[in-house]
Amino acid sequence: MTSVLPLFPLRVVLFPGRPLPLHIFEPRYQDLLADVLAADRRFGVVAIRQGAEVGAASEVHAIGTVAEVEEVEHHDDGQADIATRGVERFRIVELLDDRPYLRARVEPCGDRMPEPAVGNGALREPTATLRRLLGPYLADLGAPQEMLEHLPSDPSELSWLAAAALQVDVAEQQRLLELDALDERLAATTRLLRRESGIVRHLGTMASLNPPGPGGAELN
């Protein structure tokens, strides 16, 4: 079943379950925020394939993530800071150019389970391996102890947390987002985590879990 979703094109990949703070200042996105708050508080975050965040329309990837607005701080000049969280993936069926901001007709993307299914233990070992590798990696990035003690046991949640934590470029993150098969995503995330953990061991930590900029990622 398809639905129409307002879109924010960004040079950021949002994963389900993960937070994304945004600073909204362009008039078209102020309009979008007003419309979203008057409706279901949801919009789509899509990574830019080509083009810029500011000004003219950009070419975007076909797979994105629904973001739900959790908190809003309005400013006197019309700008706003919002806290959002990824909900679920979607696929763009048709782009719509009928508003100042981009909209699209979209359909949801669910995880494709392997055979045998999760209940038969197909994901138990890859999930345990990823969980074992992720803890030390997050610790190196300065993750709080509370996070390290409460890593998800659910394979899907764990894969999205690991994908979001990986200090890799947007293109590699987008490839993880586009993987429909949960077992393939666990395997791909584990491979990247092994690679990045080796880099951290040899070169030291070069990033952290903090969002970019003092107000988070800017919505340009």
Long-range CB contacts (within 8 A, 24+) of 146-152: none
Q: Does domain 118-203 have CATH number 2.60.120?
A: no
- Domain 3-110, CATH: 2.30.130.40
Q: What is the pLDDT of residue 80?
A: 98
Single pTM value for the model: 0.87
Amino acid symbol at 181: A
Q: What is the pLDDT of residue 111?
A: 82
Q: What is the pLDDT of residue 212?
A: 43
CA distance 159 to 26: 33
Amino acid symbol at 147: M
Q: What averages of pLDDT result for each successive group of 10 residues across the chain (220 residues)?
A: 95 96 96 98 95 67 98 97 98 95 95 62 92 94 92 95 95 97 96 88 55 38
* Residue 165 main-chain phi, psi, to 5 deg: -80, -25
Task: Give the start-to-end residue ranges of the domains of the chain.
Answer: 3-110, 118-203
* SS3 sequence of 141-206: CCCCHHHHHCCCCCHHHHHHHHHHHCCCCHHHHHHHHCCCEHHHHHHHHHHHHHHHHHHHHHHCCC
Q: What is the pLDDT of residue 54?
A: 55
Residue 50: strand pairing partners: 59
